Structure 1
């Protein structure tokens, strides 16, 4: 490679570019390489565990309900456990258990659900609200199908001293409040330590409700297990997949929702991706120009090569593509078709389009920022466009 011209290969193509900043380079690796992306988007271990638990519990209930020997053995085990709780009954403890059971069902669950919806709307977390409502609908459908397929009676062999209605399968009175509490944690509680504390509190509350129901001899143990498993697996999977913390963070601070957090795992992923795919070592990441940017997250990248060597990066996510799509739809509705353009369907196409436009203008002799290439952070979800940095 000569001193006057450098050839840079990127996902958008190959171009001969004039000399740029004296940025130190290392060997690069174009994706896909077979290695995991800098910031993968997998289903976590805990999510898989809850899904497996829900499937196993549901399969166990179905097997027990259709096989007489299994049902007989299960009823005997449940009756023995419920009798153990019945031997501990006292007047004051019965009043406490009835109060806990009443708060967790009926009007208590209704007030909790309406309060959650009002707070989500107040903080304008529309995507979280949509996921919450869809998950609630899916839970209702699952409860309806399970109830229709497995009509299991209430426990026998021990006196029931609590209020109940319908069949015992999947313990609706435990499933609904558990679902609402988990949804509140993912919609309104900040990720990290606060959410961990909230989940621990939810576990204690759900355990108290389950113990109260067992004390009152209203539900079987496996019915409670199935209800809790469904109520946790459905919202956890939905929120983690459709509203990941990296893209849709729950935060209580002023700022544009289009600007994503570039610290923590994402910051490390940006450094790794730029180093592996562009051969440039990033030593610092600083957001710049956030007040005038709503379609991306603009960054100043401090790189090796000198104390004042910087590059400019624009981080695009799926949220930016959706915002661009809705903006063009509403503009067409209000003003009609102003120009021959179509919404971008993927994040990769959006980054490739801007990279191509910069190279086209540069080849035409128009002064634009020198493009360095595109960095794939998460396949089809996050891409970083790297260009020359103009100070001021």
Structure 2
């Protein structure tokens, strides 16, 4: 866009100026009689070009669940299309709005508005569908060919001057490239043609080099490699293994947090407030630093309270304000509880860890099979305490016990687990824990595994315990109602504006 503007300014200062360029191009094209329906044919061709591009692109973005790209894409093309219609449309409403904005109902003097919209749509499509590199380069070639195919006939038919067409292309290309680069930068929102867990950042060469340099500088640990580690049980961070240059130990465990995880945390907590009300400690974090600081603090708190957790090694600032790494020991000789033998010692130790959580005045809030490791076949280690809470309510602590019972019941059976649990908890405490069990209190992984197991483990536990009324967790408040109305109203308003702009600009 800048280069095109410079060229236009240079040409404007020379004898003959832009009009001379337009005349030269017209003479080069040769005499051509303008078809009476040329303008209509050009308009129909542009509209078909819009729809052939943006509709499939929007469907791809929905399929790959890249919502940020979808919002930026639809917002960009709909706003540009709406402005184009407002500037050059002939409808009564459009003329009235134009009169209020510009002081006259006359159309804005830029005949190539269809070219502006087509350039915007094509470049925005390029940015959201192709990653940087060879694919993006060939995409630019395709965009250039498409715009040339659209512009040359319009200039030849006399619909646009060459300088006007060039300005239109520069305006559309520059607008789309600028908006997509600023609102959906590829380092934060990578382009992918498949569904992916947004929490799992790409451990590419550049990011790995930054991590290694930061760990060496801030912790004094020389790291040879940074590898993804147990991604299947993580949805709120990027877990990885740090292979050390010398040991022991040979490796450390780390969780990489970024602004992506901060945004996810905010949306997750907003949705929980809208769906359930406030569920204790649901305030969003203000920064990535606060997010990682909280987990580091919870690890140290639980360790000091006697709960068996990985030993924290420290927090590393990878990119100030944007990426932080929480480093802990990589607990040796461990497997997830679902892959361990259903020994009584394992069940006893997991329930003992829950009792220690109660004594420390804390709640884990995410007890599920992937967060319960078994060391040497008998010792339990609790990991991933990022959702941990200090001084929780009795209901929240009971929910931890309920999740622990069901996690054990998956591998050892409900009857055996209940028999072992009665050695450390009273029937009243166990009944209350089972009463808290619902789709809300169960982590997603645990809920999915219970459904796949097929047995009614909750019902079996409830049958053998004293009756206890279900514990209701829905909380209604004026804040929740106002937030729901504001969120729903904002979503509807945004959708209506996008649809109106798309229709006004000929995209629908």
| Contiguous gaps of at least 5 residues in structure 2 | 89-97, 335-508
Instruction: Report the equivalent of 1:17.
Output: none
Alignment-derived partner of residue 153 in structure 1? none
Give the deviation of 1:313 after TM superposition: 1.2
- Aligned partners of 1:352, 1:168: CA distance in 2, in Å? 57
Deviation at 1:256, TM superposition (A): 1.7
Distance 2:272 2:132 in 1: 35
Bigger relative CO (Cα 8 Å, ≥ 6 apart): 1
Please report how far the alpha carbon of residue 170 of structure 1 lies from its aligned counterpart in structure 2 after TM superposition: 7.0
Q: 1:103 to 1:339 in 2, by over 3 A?
A: same
- Counterpart of 1:329 in structure 2 is 270
Between the two proteins, the alignment pairs up a number of residues equal to 317
TM-score by length of 2: 0.55
Aligned to 1:245: 186
Counterparts in 2 of 1:99 and 1:200: CA distance versus 1, 3 Å: farther
Tell me if structure 2 keeps the 8 A contact 1:139–1:230: no
1:229 paired to 2:229: no
Question: Which of 76, 83, 93 is residue 20 of structure 2 equivalent to?
Answer: 76
**1:180 has 2:124 as partner:** no
- Distance in 2, Cα, partners of 1:100 & 1:284: 59
SS in 2 for 1:136: helix
Please report the TM-score for the alignment, with normalisation by the length of structure 1: 0.70
d(CA) in 1 for partners of 2:330, 2:111 = 59
Is 1:271–2:212 an aligned residue pair?
yes
- Residue 460 of structure 2 corresponds to which residue in structure 1? none
1:291 maps to 232
Q: Is 1:305 paired with 2:246?
A: yes
Shift of 1:329: 1.9
Q: Secondary structure at the match of 1:106?
A: helix
Note the C-alpha offset of 1:290.
0.8
**CA shift at 1:293, angstroms?**
0.4
Structure 1 position 101, deviation (Å): 4.8
Tell me if the contact between 1:288 and 1:298 (Cα under 8 Å) persists in the aligned partners. yes
Q: Would you say 1:85 and 2:26 are equivalent positions?
A: no
**Cα deviation code 1:266-302 (max 9, x no counterpart):** 2222222222332222211111111110000100010
The one of 337, 344, 347 aligned to 2:288: 347
C-alpha distance in 2, partners of 1:56/1:277? 47
Are 2:130 and 1:189 equivalent residues in the alignment? yes
Instruction: State the SS of the aligned residue for 2:317.
Output: strand
| Counterparts in 2 of 1:108 and 1:255: CA distance versus 1, 3 Å | closer
How far the C-alpha of 1:314 sits from its partner, in A, is 0.7
Distance 1:280 1:240, change over 3 A: farther
Which has the greater radius of gyration? Answer: 2
The answer for the alignment partner of 1:375 in structure 2 is: 316
> Do the aligned partners of residues 264 and 100 (structure 1) sit closer, same or farther apart at CA in structure 2, a change above 3 Å counting?
farther
Seen in structure 2, the aligned counterparts of structure 1 residues 57 and 317 have a Cα distance that, compared at 3 Å, is: farther
Using the alignment, how far apart are the partners of 2:263 and 2:211 within structure 1?
22
1:105-135: CA deviation from partner (whole Å, max 9, x where unpaired): 1333234323322332233221111111222
After superposition, give the CA deviation of every residue in 1:50-70 in whole Å (9 maximum; x if it has no partner).
Answer: 4x4477689x59xx7xxxx99
Shift in CA distance, 360/245, structure 1 to aligned 2, threshold 3 Å: same
1:320 counterpart SS class: helix
User: Cα 1:324–1:54, aligned 2, differ >3 Å: closer, same or farther?
Assistant: farther
1:253–1:146 Cα change, 3 Å: closer
Question: 1:291 aligns to what SS in structure 2?
Answer: helix
State the 1:365 CA deviation.
4.5
Q: Structure 1 251/299 Cα, relative in aligned 2: closer, same or farther at 3 Å?
A: same
Specify which of 119, 139, 144 is matched with residue 198 of structure 1: 139
Structure 1: stretches of 5+ with no match in the other structure: 1-49, 151-164
The Cα shift of 1:338 comes to 2.0
* Alignment partners' CA distance in 2, 1:100 and 1:388: 68
Shift of 1:228: 1.7
Distance 2:47 2:85 in 1: 17
Report the alpha carbon displacement of residue 217 of structure 1 after superposing the two structures with TM: 2.5
> 1:110, 1:173 → 2: CA distance?
13
Counterparts in 2 of 1:204-219, with a 5 A limit?
204-219=145-160
Secondary structure of 2:80's partner?
helix
Once the two structures are superposed, the pairs formed by residues 152-191 of structure 1 within 5 Å of their partners are 169=110, 171-191=112-132
Q: Which moved more, 1:358-367 or 1:188-197?
A: 358-367
Which residue number corresponds to residue 280 of structure 1?
Answer: 221
Shift of 1:305: 1.4
- Give the RMSD, CA atoms, in angstroms: 3.6
Which of 38, 43, 54 aligns to 1:113? It is: 54
